[in-house]
């Protein structure tokens, strides 16, 4: 069995290689008193040919509390399927830009990791979308979380009824876990953003393809529990070209030209919903998510960088989600 | 492939998905099969068998790793591996008995997915729905045990027919969602063609086989997909010239993958064809390569 480094997070949680570790600690952040409780940054990029490393560094500068220097960073993009012309996956340019940005900010290492829920064979997508070559050129490690070693961690959420989750050791060994979704609608959840993106951390070698237990226990409950257990530190959302309609795979492209970032993933997702001209309070998993991941009320989110209005686009939703649309 | 598999066999006798990783049932089963086919010698094979045997659960199936206590979806692969190695007949019988008793859940409302939710095959995880790949593995294990006439196998086959994609082929198990046809996955399709190699009278099976085997193996980049398809081609009597070279084309680069063990094991199995063919019905292959 490979040795697994004990991370700072695990020390906080008091989990020293026990078979059933304690829940990962909340990453030491206390929401400030007063009406503004989270900061979300929006950057504008007209295309994937923009200098995304520079743009993302500009955004990271708004969050000095990340204290990136010396940290092991895990970037978790959304990689599902490759269908030409459809904006399904977090763009390779955004992933590479983020990796380079964190390295430039002094990260000790950056790992890109994902565990797609439908396709077992990541090799095909990985190569076709160019991520394999791009990461190899820059000597950035990629880990297929579906087949990683894992540790059983107590479910800190409590809504699915699952006692624990098997979480990949690569994830547990990171100091900073960054959820990097695509800005998309979702035909079961309404939207799929940084919290829903966490479905992809669970190893398929345990849960299968798809990770059907999460659907049986309820998508909203699973998002709640996974977010509460994984406690992602940061989110970077690829909204340069997002997806509307029958997301997360069969929808159509919408060029929002935005990168949305923040340390409170619920607030990031709420801002993303507003960018999509949707009402976050009406997205069930956003409304029900824990407050410690940030508020969703606009007046409690400090919007820095570009305004929501500058990048807002109407995203078409399926008829069953028409109530999410902001008619204002 | 043999040297890589021998070098990276863990001290406990199993294989992880990649070097240095914890032994797991799927890579161990495939690695063991490959070593049998590549005539690696008795000791590493015995060690692999012992690792699998130690995973035996009270229910009869094999657990996925030493860290797990419940039977794993990879149990059928372990049965195939132990049979090929000629060991643990009792454990195999227990595992097959467990497979007979375990099944995916039924669902009533399939309006969004347009499939027959009453059909039961096998699931990935306890208490969840039936999906294509675990069902294909289970069917193959029973058929290799000459129990293809089990009612569960017949129902599993019906499930596979029900889930075939428009135009042929299979993916994880949804052919249509919210009115939109989904695409098949070549690796899964190859596994189903192995499970249904004795069902050539079925139009959708024959059509998929024809379409698959008429195309060049090299259309995939993945070693594992090429390897499974080479195994399926062998079972169907449609080998491709140069398949061995095609399967190993990217093997060197695969050393860095999180699933390197799967690459080397499946490539090893493809290299052992046609003399050793554990997935060809009736052709476990006594003519091992020297």
**Are A276 and A313 spatial neighbours (Cβ–Cβ below 8 Å)?**
yes
Same domain for B75 and B131, yes or no, is no
Same domain for B132 and B56, yes or no, is no
| Total tally of structural domains belonging to chain A | 1
Say whether residue B22 is in contact with chain A using an 8 A CB cutoff: yes
Among A2, A121, A152, beta carbon nearest to B20: A2
Residue B220: C-alpha distances to residues B89, B174, B250 (Å): 37, 22, 11
Domain that holds residue A147: 34-324
Nearest CA in chain A to B187: A121
Phi first, then psi: give them for residue B14, nearest 5 degrees: -100, -175
Check B224 against A212: CB less than 8 A apart: no
Say whether residue B223 is in contact with chain A using an 8 A CB cutoff: yes
| pLDDT top residue among B95 and B114 | B95
Same domain for B115 and B137, yes or no, is yes
**Cα angle at B218 between B215 and B222, to 5 degrees?**
120
Q: How far is A58 from B231, CA to CA, in rounded Å?
A: 52
Report if residue B233 sits inside a domain.
no
Q: What is the pLDDT of residue B113?
A: 87
- Taking each helix axis from N to C end, the angle separating B89-101 and B75-85, rounded to the nearest 10 degrees, works out to 160
Domain that holds residue B64: 1-102+259-290
CATH number at residue B5: 1.50.10.20
Find all residues with CB under 8 Å of B124, minimum gap 6, and list them.
Answer: A204, A207, A208, A209, A212, B73, B131, B133, B134
What is the interface pTM, i.e. ipTM, of the complex?
0.96
Mean of all residue pLDDT scores within chain B: 95
Check A121 against B187: CB less than 8 A apart: yes
Q: What is the pLDDT of residue A32?
A: 57
Report if residue B132 sits inside a domain.
yes
Same domain for B6 and B46, yes or no, is yes
Same domain for B36 and B126, yes or no, is no
| pLDDT top residue among A28 and B215 | B215
Residue B32 has pLDDT above 90, yes or no: yes
Among A127, A149, A206, beta carbon nearest to B221: A127
Say whether residue A212 is in contact with chain B using an 8 A CB cutoff: yes
Percent residues over pLDDT 70 in chain B: 97
- pLDDT digit string (tens) for chain A, length 328 residues: 333 344 545 543 443 333 333 334 334 455 555 677 999 999 999 999 999 999 999 999 999 999 999 999 999 999 998 888 899 999 999 999 999 999 999 999 999 999 999 999 888 888 889 999 999 999 999 999 999 999 999 999 999 999 999 999 999 999 999 999 999 999 999 999 999 999 999 999 999 999 999 999 999 999 999 999 999 999 999 999 999 999 999 999 999 999 999 999 999 999 999 999 999 999 999 999 999 999 999 999 999 999 999 999 999 999 999 999 999 8
3-state helix, strand, coil in chain A (%, to 5): 35, 25, 45
Report if residue A14 sits inside a domain.
no
Q: How far is B79 from B90, CA to CA, in rounded Å?
A: 10
Quick count: other Cβ atoms within 10 Å of Cβ B67? 17
Q: What is the pLDDT of residue A20?
A: 36
Q: What is the pLDDT of residue B110?
A: 86
**Contacts A211 to B, Cβ<8 Å:** 125
The residues facing A42 across adjacent strands are A260, A305
Check A120 against B127: CB less than 8 A apart: no
For residue B277 the two structure tokens come to 């063919």
Q: How far is A1 from B264, CA to CA, in rounded Å?
A: 20
**Are A117 and A78 spatial neighbours (Cβ–Cβ below 8 Å)?**
no
Chain B residues 76-135 with a CB less than 8 Å from chain A: 105, 123-125, 127-129, 131, 133-134
Say whether residue B183 is in contact with chain A using an 8 A CB cutoff: yes
Q: What is the pLDDT of residue B91?
A: 87
**B277, B287, B282: which is closest to B143 by C-alpha?**
B282
Check A205 against B26: CB less than 8 A apart: yes
Q: What is the pLDDT of residue A1?
A: 31
Residues in chain A, how many?
Answer: 328
Q: What is the pLDDT of residue A25?
A: 36
CATH number at residue A147: 3.40.50.11440
Q: What is the pLDDT of residue A13?
A: 43
pTM of the model: 0.93
Query: Nearest C-alpha of chain A: how many angstroms from B7?
Result: 15
Report if residue A8 sits inside a domain.
no
**Contacts A19 to B, Cβ<8 Å:** 67
Q: How far is A167 from B226, CA to CA, in rounded Å?
A: 30
Q: What is the mean pLDDT of residues B21-45?
A: 97
**Are B113 and B159 spatial neighbours (Cβ–Cβ below 8 Å)?**
no
Q: What is the pLDDT of residue A33?
A: 56
Q: How far is B181 from B162, CA to CA, in rounded Å?
A: 14
For residue B114 the two structure tokens come to 């347009």
Same domain for B113 and B98, yes or no, is no
């Amino acid at each position: 069995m490979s040795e697994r480094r004990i991370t700072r997070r695990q020390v906080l949680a008091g989990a020293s290689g026990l078979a059933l570790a304690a829940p990962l600690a909340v990453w030491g952040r206390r929401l400030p008193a007063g009406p503004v409780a989270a900061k979300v940054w929006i950057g504008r990029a007209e295309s994937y040919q923009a200098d995304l490393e520079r743009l993302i560094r500009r955004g990271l500068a708004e969050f000095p509390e990340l204290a990136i220097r010396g940290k092991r960073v895990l970037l978790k993009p959304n990689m599902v399927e490759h269908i030409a012309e459809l904006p399904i996956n977090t763009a390779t340019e955004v992933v590479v830009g983020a990796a380079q940005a964190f390295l430039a900010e002094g990260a000790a290492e950056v790992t890109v990791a994902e565990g797609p829920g439908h396709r077992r064979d990541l090799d095909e997508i990985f190569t076709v979308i160019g991520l394999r070559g791009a990461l190899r050129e820059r000597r950035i490690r990629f880990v297929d979380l579906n087949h990683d070693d894992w540790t059983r961690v107590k479910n800190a959420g409590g809504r699915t009824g699952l006692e624990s989750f098997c979480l990949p050791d690569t994830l547990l060994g990171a100091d900073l876990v960054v959820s990097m979704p695509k800005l998309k609608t979702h035909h079961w959840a309404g939207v799929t953003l940084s919290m829903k993106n966490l479905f992809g951390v669970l190893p398929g070698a345990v849960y299968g393809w798809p990770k059907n237990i999460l659907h049986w226990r309820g998508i909203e409950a699973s998002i709640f529990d996974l977010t509460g257990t994984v406690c992602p530190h940061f989110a970077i959302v690829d909204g340069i070209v997002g997806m509307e309609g029958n997301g997360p795979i069969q929808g159509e492209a919408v060029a929002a030209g935005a990168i949305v970032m923040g340390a409170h993933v619920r607030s990031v997702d709420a801002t993303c919903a507003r960018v999509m001209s949707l009402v976050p309070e009406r997205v069930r998993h956003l409304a029900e998510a824990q407050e410690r991941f940030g508020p969703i009320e606009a007046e409690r989110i400090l919007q820095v960088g570009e305004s929501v209005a500058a990048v807002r686009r109407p995203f078409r939703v399926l008829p069953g989600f028409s109530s999410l649309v902001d008619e204002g | 492939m043999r040297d890589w598999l021998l070098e990276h066999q863990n001290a406990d006798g199993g294989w992880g998905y990649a070097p240095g990783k914890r032994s797991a049932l799927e890579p161990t089963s495939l690695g063991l099969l490959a070593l049998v086919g590549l005539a690696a010698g008795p000791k590493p094979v015995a060690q692999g068998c012992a690792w699998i045997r130690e995973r035996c659960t009270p229910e009869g199936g094999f657990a996925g790793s030493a860290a797990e206590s419940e039977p794993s979806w990879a149990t059928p692969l372990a049965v195939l591996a132990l049979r090929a190695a000629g060991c643990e007949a009792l454990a195999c019988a227990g595992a097959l008995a467990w497979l007979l008793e375990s099944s995916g859940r039924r669902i009533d409302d399939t309006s969004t997915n347009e499939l027959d939710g009453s059909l039961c095959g096998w699931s990935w995880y306890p208490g969840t729905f039936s999906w294509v790949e675990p069902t294909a593995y289970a069917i193959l294990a029973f058929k290799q045990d000459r129990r293809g006439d089990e009612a569960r196998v017949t129902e599993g086959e019906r499930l596979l027919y029900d889930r075939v994609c428009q135009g042929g082929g299979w993916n994880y198990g949804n052919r249509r969602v919210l009115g939109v046809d989904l695409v098949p996955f070549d690796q899964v399709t190859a596994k189903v063609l192995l499970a249904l190699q004795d069902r050539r009278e079925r139009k959708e099976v024959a059509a998929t086989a024809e379409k698959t085997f008429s195309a060049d193996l090299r259309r995939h980049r993945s070693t594992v997909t090429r390897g499974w398809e080479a195994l399926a081609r062998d079972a169907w009597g449609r080998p491709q010239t140069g398949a061995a070279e095609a399967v190993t084309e990217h093997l060197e680069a695969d050393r860095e993958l999180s699933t390197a063990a799967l690459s080397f094991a499946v490539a090893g199995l493809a290299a052992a064809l046609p003399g050793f063919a554990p997935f060809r019905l009736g052709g476990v292959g006594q003519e091992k390569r020297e």
